[in-house]
């Protein structure tokens, strides 16, 4: 499962770096902030006390969400077992 999550994380970081080079660019995007704040509170564990989303916060949020939706979601085909126990 670690390899699967690492692949998603690398993809998310590459995308974010293309469009959001730093924390200031994340903070300046009101739509991205609105998107990130719409997630349930338990997703916001890594958000700073003042509620400001950093680039890393958004990367973690997206990585976790994509991993859950693609790796664990039954409607898309549950690959969690395959990711945990890859076929040799």
Count of domains observed in the chain:
1
Q: What is the DSSP string of the chain?
A: -HHHHHHHHHHHHHHHHHH--SHHHHHH-HHHHHHHHTS-GGGGTTS-TT-PPPHHHHHHHHHHHHHHHHHS-GGG---HHHHHS---
pLDDT for the residue numbered 78: 52
pLDDT tens, N- to C-terminus, the chain (88 residues): 788 889 999 999 999 999 999 999 998 998 988 888 787 776 666 555 566 788 998 898 889 888 888 876 654 455 555 555 555 5
The domain of 36 spans 2-84
pLDDT for the residue numbered 76: 46
């Amino acid at each position: 499962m670690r390899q699967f999550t690492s692949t998603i994380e690398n993809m998310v970081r590459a995308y974010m770096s293309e469009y959001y080079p730093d924390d200031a660019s994340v903070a300046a995007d009101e739509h991205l902030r609105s998107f990130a704040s719409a997630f349930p509170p338990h997703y916001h564990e890594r958000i700073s006390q003042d509620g400001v989303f950093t680039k890393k916060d958004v990367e973690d949020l997206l990585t976790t969400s994509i991993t859950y939706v693609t790796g664990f979601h039954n409607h898309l085909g549950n690959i969690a077992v395959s990711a945990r126990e890859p076929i040799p």
